[in-house]
Amino acid sequence: MSGTKAALHMPLYDQLSRTRSEVQSRTVTRPVMQLTTASVGDLVMPAEQRFVAAQRLVLRWIDEKHRAILGGALPPHALRGESFAIDQPGREFAAVRLDPPPEGFDQVWAAKVEHPDNTTEGRNFARIWSVEVLLVHARSEVVLSIRTAIHSDGRDQPPLSVPRFLREIAAQIGLNDAGLPIAATPYRIDSDERLALFWKHLRDPARNLPVLVLTPEFGTGEYALNPDVTANALVGVAHVVTFTENRTTLGCGWPAASGSPLRAHYEPTSRTLTLLRRNFFDTPWRR
């Protein structure tokens, strides 16, 4: 390129560089959902099989995204769970398998998918989805970690979205958060045994997901929210737990599980259920 042409192109390059920097500075990253750690399956299935089965479901999801966005399947070695990287502007498909794994681990595999939101709303807000996955096999344990975020211009409201593979792993292999299953159905407390498990989960410092408790209206047994619809919408985001109207379970099972006396007082006018127990509830539960 001659000196004159180079001189003409330099301002253009500078402008492009400044524009790119301005766009990046205006981009806002916000979390959508995060599952820090969840146990995959149970001890009935060998840990290596659980790891491979979960990895296969994640890779199938990545492959479908790759076909839809970039066209064509993932490379064969990628589908075998090996490391790969496909990086284009605003589009990234990558995975890393640590070989050898760190001491104390049998297998460690991580993947990341980043792609633009091709919906009308997504294009209006320059939205890009980012999904990160970590799958770990250590002795008899298989642990899954997921984080979903969006990058946009900041004017939009981040929509709640859970990767399909999370639902598939939960349904086909099983996911567990500190003793409570992660599922598309509510955890129904209809016995003292299930109540004791729920109480143990609440006290477990290893639990990750928030808990949404739905109680029925006295007399009608109806819930303010549909438990099944709510649980299906929040799978992997929160546990949905339902209490029945069985006062024996509420009045006798809970004290046995918590180890403290419990008295309940219901005020119909304010629809407030107050559970009285020392050092536990400072404020009433409201429906």
Residue-wise pLDDT tens digits, 30-68: 888 889 889 998 878 999 999 999 999 999 999 999 999
Residue that wins the pLDDT comparison between 248 and 48: 48
Rounded to two decimals, what is the model's pTM? 0.77
Backbone angles phi, psi at 131, to 5 degrees: -125, 125
CA distance 132 to 159: 17
- Torsion sign across C-alpha atoms 177, 180, 183, 186: negative
Rg (CA), the chain: 25
Q: DSSP character for 260?
A: S
CA distance 198 to 91: 42
CA distance 109 to 79: 13
Domain spanning 28-175, CATH architecture: 2-Layer Sandwich (3.30)
Of 148, 118, 146, residue with least CA distance to 134: 146
**What tokens were used for 186?**
């509510």
What is the Cα 45 distance to its own chain's centre? Answer: 23
Of 148, 116, 243, 139, residue with least CA distance to 192: 243
CA distance 28 to 156: 10
- Torsion sign across C-alpha atoms 216, 188, 178, 196: positive
Cis bond leading into 100, ω under 30°?
Answer: yes
DSSP states of 93-119: EEEEE-SSPPTT-SEEEEEEEEEE--S
Residues in Cβ contact with 19 at an 8 Å cutoff, skipping those fewer than 6 apart:
none
| pLDDT (tens digit per residue) in 191-201 | 889 999 999 99
Residue 119 pLDDT > 60: yes
CB 208 within 8 A of CB 36: yes
Residue 266 pLDDT > 80: no
Residue 79 pLDDT > 60: yes
Please identify which residue in the block is written with the tokens 């999801």: 61
Task: Count CA within 13 A, CB hemisphere, residue 270.
Answer: 9
CB 211 within 8 A of CB 202: yes
CA distance 237 to 229: 14
Residues in Cβ contact with 226 at an 8 Å cutoff, skipping those fewer than 6 apart:
none
Q: What angle do CA 55, 116, 163 make, to 5 degrees?
A: 35
Ranges of each domain in the chain: 28-175, 180-286
Mean of the pLDDT values across residues 6-24?
A: 51
**Confidence tier at 145 by pLDDT (50, 70, 90):** very high
Residue that wins the pLDDT comparison between 16 and 198: 198
